Structure 1
Amino acid sequence: MKFTAQKAIAATGAIAMMVGIAACGSSNADTSADESGSGTTEITVWAWEPTLERTIEGFEAENPDISVTVTNAGTNTDEYNALNNAIEGGSGAPDIAQIEYYALPEYQIRGYVMDLSEYGADEFSDFYTPGTWSSVNLNGGVYALPMDSGPMAWFYNKDVFDAAGVDPTQVRTWDDFYEAAKAIRATGSYITSDSGDAGFFDSMSWLAGATPFDTSSDGTEVTIDLTGDSGVTTFTEFWQKLIDEDLIDTQTVGWSDEWNRGLNDGSIASLLTGAWMPYNLLSGAPDGDGKWRITQMPTADGSETNSENGGSSLALIQTDDTAKAEAAYKFMEYACHNADGIATRVDGGAFPADNDTLASEDFLNMTSLTDSDGNAHEYFGGQKFNEELAKAAANVSTGYKFLPFEVYARGVFADDAGAAYTDQSITLADGVAAWEENLKSYAEQQGYTVK
């Protein structure tokens, strides 16, 4: 199912970079103030992130002449599919769209989103964390505002690790992690799971210092060098060893019911994932309440570096309606840069992208999560979990770049490398090599010069 959706976005989004995009000029769906006759500018936002809608009340109270509607047009690839269809069709596009960091370069290269520098967003570099700011600061412009972030952290079930005699806070290198994985496996559990997730592969390669992709400033040339990148090789060899020795669960698909059961009963003992995970654990693995903890990611050499896994931005869809664009930007700024807007979203469970929130005492001193019924849970055993996550955010390295067709790239990863996980009929290195050839061929078909 997941692959089918990603194939759909690839099919509809696969247009050459040289094709004109005149349809973007006035494609937005909503009526302006003049057209509606109400004196109110109506703004439509496409987003699946659940806390964004909470900011509308505060924003409209400060801006009574602007009305905001948030519509869930689907999650990630489903939204991108609909968004591309609307933009390319010349009608029906929203004013603002939630776009994940990995997908943003694609929309910037195509000219589908506006440079926010003209509204002053280029002055926000010190406001956001290095990782999120670098993700929206593309080719000399600022093409979205960071909405949240996903610095990687190690979430672990302390009961399982205690039974195995392993203290994750002392596991600092990937060699240490390998030894810990053997100890966890001896208890009957797996240290973690991975059935072939392309986003996780990107994040772990990034963590190893990889820079396999690059795009020229004019968007005509791409560099794709997975097989020749030492960081990619470092991760691939490490992960292959764990696969070969049955030390990670490669059969359980992430976000499936079976995966949640594994987290709930401890058979999947930890996760290497983004800082947005706490509330997902609370809802998906309720029996883990009080058992889980968080620590920093182990790295190849034990250094305190980090990478991102997930996270989204809000982007302003290209339009010729300057008044509407200004109104839409006001909402973006409120939700992503205004202290009240950010606090509203963080209170709802979003992980912040701004330095001020990450440094605030209220945020750092949190020890409990609040469920949908308003009940507080010390899910992480009283740990000040945000202290650990804020440290993870500060350690994110910059310089990793996504392809301008990253949505397609992630959609076909399973085609090329999936067998290295599922039936192990190929090695991960073989799968990565096939993925590289696929991406090079696709890039050439889209009119890029491949280096």
Structure 2
Amino acid sequence: MARDTGFPRRTGTLLAVTGVAAAVLAGCGTSPTTGAAADLSPDDVSAALQEGGDLLVWAWEPTLEHVVEDFEAEYPNVDVELANVGTGNDHYVVLQNAIRAGSGVPDVAQVEYYALPQFSIAGSLADLAPLGARDLDGTYSPGTWEAVTDDGAVYGLPIDSGPMALFYNARTFEAAGAQVPATWDEFVETARKIHAYDSDTYLVADDGNAGFATSMIWQAGGTPYTVDGTTVRVDLTDEGSTRFAGMWQQLLDDDLVTKVPEWSDEWFQRLGDGTIAALVTGAWMPANLASGAPGASGDWRVAPMPQWTKGAAATAENGGSALSVTEASTQKALAYGFLQYANAGEGVQVRLDHGNFPATTADLTSPEFLAKEPRYFGGQRINEVLSASATSVVPGWQYLPYQVYANSVFPDTVGQAYTGSTTLADSLTDWQDSIVKYGNEQGFTVSGP
């Protein structure tokens, strides 16, 4: 599937979720429908799996269908209902509505890393540490584990990861006489060379994507969001934000970026014919390329993400999600048993066999995984590049507790820089002002730099 693979490519493209932040704060301190997860233990998980019961799982990740089938065969007393209630914004609206209503809440929900703080701060997600999750430290790549943990609490188990890399069309590069850029300065020069070769060909497409921009700021060493409970500081003028804005502005000023919307038919068509020659994105991209631009099989390759300092190896995550147990679940031990199977046990290999990119360090370093030579990428061992990226994610990144809303107003603020009506630096300040204003309106204590 080209447009809805379940890979974490939707980050940054969500619409506004009206009232979610207010609902989050209103939900703080609510009591679960049964005993807290803190009263349970790994022994309770084992007993629950044997005793059985019914589980409701809301997720869009397609490989989970195969996991559920195998899980039910392993634990015949458990019946799992897997429902896709929507992706991205639709999913979160339905989930939040169920939580507010106090009925129909799933036992397990898929939550993208950037949206997870929005639900955990509300007390809507169970802390999985007492159930055994605290022992999984080291099981996952650093970036994904950092995304699901907070001060000793564990609010989900990672499904996948999106360490970033440079995907490029080797055929177009060769025709243009372009070299694979190792730094962002070289990236700008490569963009010039590609466009000079053919005025209809661009190195990259970008019509204004919040997820991409924040990942670039992350890799540049930025820490625009500092969150301590409901106290938030926003600084989109920090070093990383300024680095990204200055470099990307050169591409916009010189018309070196095509504004073709991502995931559109035209976007895939141009990836296929090489007139969009590269992508800087997450490790989940290979399956999307293979299915969305099959005619380009053999043309694409993967290289490390360009660096701000020559010889460095800093990367960031772009996308990715976890499975979480809701605080409202009456089957927390059983629900965690499913998470453990799907994201730390036998289910991991099932998902890998169906095209998922792992978050588990054992698989990221597996000789078998690293040795794969996909035909679409000309037989290149692309997992060697992608796995190396997963170990080089810059630590310390935080998302806003209302990142879903912040991303939704990105087009109205930073998006204006892509039309030429303002600059990226000025529009990032506009975005910052909007984020601060909204957060304070919702009851958070938010300040600027």
Quote the offset at 1:140 in angstroms. 2.4
Q: Does the CA contact (< 8 Å) of 1:14 and 1:446 recur in 2?
A: yes
RMSD: 1.7
* Percent identity of paired positions between Structure 1 and Structure 2: 45
Q: TM-score, normalised by structure 1?
A: 0.90
> Secondary structure of 2:352's partner?
helix
Q: Quote the Cα distance in structure 2 between the aligned partners of 1:353 and 1:7.
A: 27
| Aligned counterpart, 1:240 | 249
Matches within 5 A, 1:168-207: 168=180, 171-188=181-198, 189-207=201-219
Between the two structures, name the one with larger relative contact order (CA 8 Å, sep ≥ 6).
2
Q: Which of 367, 381, 385 is the matching residue for 2:382?
A: 385
Q: Which moved more, 1:231-240 or 1:134-143?
A: 134-143
Q: Quote the Cα distance in structure 2 between the aligned partners of 1:288 and 1:183.
A: 21
Quote the offset at 1:20 in angstroms. 4.7
Identify unmatched segments of 5+ residues in structure 1: 27-38, 369-377
> Secondary structure of 2:98's partner?
helix
Quote the offset at 1:385 in angstroms. 1.1
Is 1:296 the counterpart of 2:308 in the alignment?
A: no
Q: Quote the Cα distance in structure 2 between the aligned partners of 1:13 and 1:106.
A: 7
Q: Does the CA contact (< 8 Å) of 1:21 and 1:88 recur in 2?
A: no
| Aligned counterpart, 1:443 | 439
Q: Quote the Cα distance in structure 2 between the aligned partners of 1:213 and 1:326.
A: 34
Q: Which of 54, 69, 72 is the matching residue for 1:60?
A: 72
Q: Does the CA contact (< 8 Å) of 2:16 and 2:408 recur in 1?
A: no
| Aligned counterpart, 1:332 | 339
> Secondary structure of 2:18's partner?
helix
Identify unmatched segments of 5+ residues in structure 2: 1-9, 35-50
Q: Does the CA contact (< 8 Å) of 2:107 and 2:329 recur in 1?
A: no
Is 1:134 the counterpart of 2:146 in the alignment?
A: yes
Check 1:383–1:345 CA distance in 2 against 1; reply closer, same or farther (3 A cut).
same
Q: Quote the Cα distance in structure 1 between the aligned partners of 2:388 and 2:406.
A: 30
| Aligned counterpart, 1:429 | 425
| Aligned counterpart, 2:234 | 224
Q: Does the CA contact (< 8 Å) of 1:147 and 1:352 recur in 2?
A: yes
| Aligned counterpart, 2:290 | 282
1:165-194 Cα deviation digits (max 9, x unpaired): 1231xx211111111111111122111111
Q: Which of 408, 413, 417 is the matching residue for 1:411?
A: 408
Q: Does the CA contact (< 8 Å) of 1:299 and 1:305 recur in 2?
A: yes
Q: Quote the Cα distance in structure 2 between the aligned partners of 1:11 and 1:270.
A: 38
| Aligned counterpart, 1:271 | 279
Is 1:345 the counterpart of 2:351 in the alignment?
A: yes
> Secondary structure of 2:409's partner?
helix
Q: Quote the Cα distance in structure 1 between the aligned partners of 2:205 and 2:249.
A: 13
| Aligned counterpart, 1:359 | 365
| Aligned counterpart, 1:372 | none
Matches within 5 A, 1:37-76: 40-76=52-88
Check 1:267–1:111 CA distance in 2 against 1; reply closer, same or farther (3 A cut).
same
| Aligned counterpart, 1:215 | 227
Q: Quote the Cα distance in structure 1 between the aligned partners of 2:101 and 2:316.
A: 36
| Aligned counterpart, 1:98 | 110
Q: Quote the Cα distance in structure 2 between the aligned partners of 1:388 and 1:179.
A: 23
| Aligned counterpart, 2:396 | 399
Q: Does the CA contact (< 8 Å) of 2:24 and 2:122 recur in 1?
A: no
Check 1:381–1:7 CA distance in 2 against 1; reply closer, same or farther (3 A cut).
closer
Q: Does the CA contact (< 8 Å) of 2:202 and 2:277 recur in 1?
A: yes
Quote the offset at 1:220 in angstroms. 2.3
1:20-48 Cα deviation digits (max 9, x unpaired): 5537536xxxxxxxxxxxx7411011111
How many pairs align?
A: 418
